[in-house]
Structure 1
Amino acid sequence: MTICVAYGPTPEGTAALDLAVRESRLRGARLVALATEHQERFEHDTEPDDGGPLRDRVETRLAALRADGDPETDVRVIDDGGDPAEAILDLAAESGAALLVIGVRRRSPVGKLLTGSVAQRIILDSPVPVLITHAAR
């Protein structure tokens, strides 16, 4: 069994990673993390990199959460400027995931209308169950 988690450098991404680690431990399932700085990169108008700093952040967080006997974890960094919902769903399909974990934030109805919702697309289009969490307030 494999669990996939979508991680971004946000409080919601951290909450999703934490929950995915707990779920993989409970189920004895392999964990695959997809990390992306897609939104952050466009907000700051920076050049894409090789994923090194982001991979380091994910690995550091995972190291803090790991316990002896935890299932294997695979971290993949994607930052191609493509559609994040599609990348997450592709990862779940490619990995043979039985569960997908994502973090969400509260958005206003107008915000959803103007920008769409990656989380909503994932929930509606996912072929596997989606476990949703949010950051602590």
Structure 2
Amino acid sequence: MSGFPEGAVVAGIDGSSSAVRAAVWAGSEALRRGRPLRLVQIYALPPVNAPMAFGTHDQVRAGLAERAEGWLTDARTAVLAEHPGLEVTTAAREWSPVTALVQESQHAELVVLGSRGLGGFTGLLVGSTAVAVVAHALCPIVVVRGRKPHDPPPDTGPVLVGADGSPDSDAAIAFACEEARLRGTRLVAVHTWSDVLADGMLRPHPLEEDPAAIERVERDKLAHQFAGWQTKYPDLPIELDVARGRPVRTLLERGEHAQLIVVGCRGRGGFTGMLLGSTSQALIAHSPCPVAVVRPGRSDHPAERGPADATATNVRPLWT
């Protein structure tokens, strides 16, 4: 297939059962959004350290392309079995997985990946490769997970969003609000605080701080951030969950009863460095439900648009 469909939901296929489950999940997402689904398999010739016999490259390339088409056919069959009538296209591409996925993200509404991979996506969600995809992608990326490695992703419970009060988290909040609306469920905004750190820096006199006063400030900050979003989504139940502790641990605990966790890729306070090093890897590796990662900075994308000017305060706190 030549060219890129604009606004499609893209799912990476690598021959693994995890990727097939992710493709089926992506099919549901495409239906909710009224978008086509594009299944992409990316393969590359293996590196060699010695000259190869004449014709070997072409034979290997043909074999990889044939295998890619087979994986795509299997994934498409699984998607249509769950979502008959959905518009599904496929593409087998010879390139670097990271580079190709970033290119796909320039045209996609969403890129969806499985949490365990084979073939061209081996190791995609471990270490620098995952960070590279998230750091450069121009649309949200979802890693589809279940409570156990071979479980399907949950389809009940709220949508969770990690919020730290910074403008950088607005893109994640916008995406989470829309996801909760499309799914007909409530949104839970999770914000963590520490009596040692404030905005990612050590408090000057942590032993003299009053934890109750810190929590009040953090609650007010979160309520202020969500006032405009409640106005933009007046029918969406929004709960504010302020907790003392670490962001990943809190999100993992809350995620046990959720159907999606949404985080931004940079921020301050409780979510500083969310997508760098062990913090992001822990969330991707251990989340009991799919994880969406949303980068700020693409103002023309629906997931990046902030709320209109508003002063509504009818956000329902979880702590009351």
- After TM superposition, the score normalised by the length of structure 2 is 0.35
Counterpart of 2:235 in structure 1 is 69
Asked whether 1:91 is paired with 2:254, we answer yes
Q: Distance in 2 between matches of 1:128 and 1:90?
A: 11
Other structure's SS at 1:51 match: helix
Q: How many residues align?
A: 125
Unaligned 5+ runs, structure 1 = 107-111
Unaligned 5+ runs, structure 2 = 1-156, 268-272, 299-320
Counterpart of 1:116 in structure 2 is 277
Question: How do residues 1-137 of structure 1 correspond to structure 2 at under 5 angstroms?
Answer: 1-38=157-194, 40=198, 43-45=201-203, 46=206, 47=209, 48=211, 49-66=213-230, 67-70=233-236, 72-80=237-245, 83-93=246-256, 96-105=257-266, 116-136=277-297
Q: Distance in 2 between matches of 1:22 and 1:57?
A: 22
Contact 2:192–2:250 at 8 Å: present in 1 too?
Answer: no
Contact 1:5–1:31 at 8 Å: present in 2 too?
Answer: yes
Q: Distance in 2 between matches of 1:122 and 1:12?
A: 19
Q: Distance in 1 between matches of 2:198 and 2:168?
A: 13
| Structure 1 residue 124, shift from structure 2 partner | 1.2
Query: CA 1:97–1:9 in structure 2 vs 1: closer, same or farther (change >3 Å)?
Result: same
| Structure 1 residue 41, shift from structure 2 partner | 5.1
Larger mean Cα displacement after TM superposition, 19-28 or 37-46: 37-46
Contact 2:164–2:222 at 8 Å: present in 1 too?
Answer: no
| Structure 1 residue 68, shift from structure 2 partner | 2.8
Other structure's SS at 2:288 match: coil
Q: Distance in 2 between matches of 1:14 and 1:36?
A: 16
Higher RCO structure (Cα 8 Å, ≥6 apart): 1
Equivalent AA in structure 2 for residue 87 of structure 1: T
Give the CA RMSD over aligned residues. Answer: 2.6
Query: CA 1:11–1:123 in structure 2 vs 1: closer, same or farther (change >3 Å)?
Result: farther
| Structure 1 residue 50, shift from structure 2 partner | 4.3
Contact 2:259–2:289 at 8 Å: present in 1 too?
Answer: yes
| Structure 1 residue 42, shift from structure 2 partner | 5.4
| Structure 1 residue 74, shift from structure 2 partner | 1.5
Contact 2:191–2:247 at 8 Å: present in 1 too?
Answer: no
Equivalent AA in structure 1 for residue 251 of structure 2: I
Contact 2:165–2:225 at 8 Å: present in 1 too?
Answer: no
| Structure 1 residue 11, shift from structure 2 partner | 3.4
Structure 1 stretches of 4+ with a deviation exceeding 6 A read none
Contact 1:16–1:101 at 8 Å: present in 2 too?
Answer: yes
Q: Distance in 1 between matches of 2:215 and 2:261?
A: 22
Contact 1:16–1:103 at 8 Å: present in 2 too?
Answer: yes
Larger fraction in helix: 1
- After TM superposition, the score normalised by the length of structure 1 is 0.75
Higher gyration radius (CA): 2
| Structure 1 residue 54, shift from structure 2 partner | 2.0
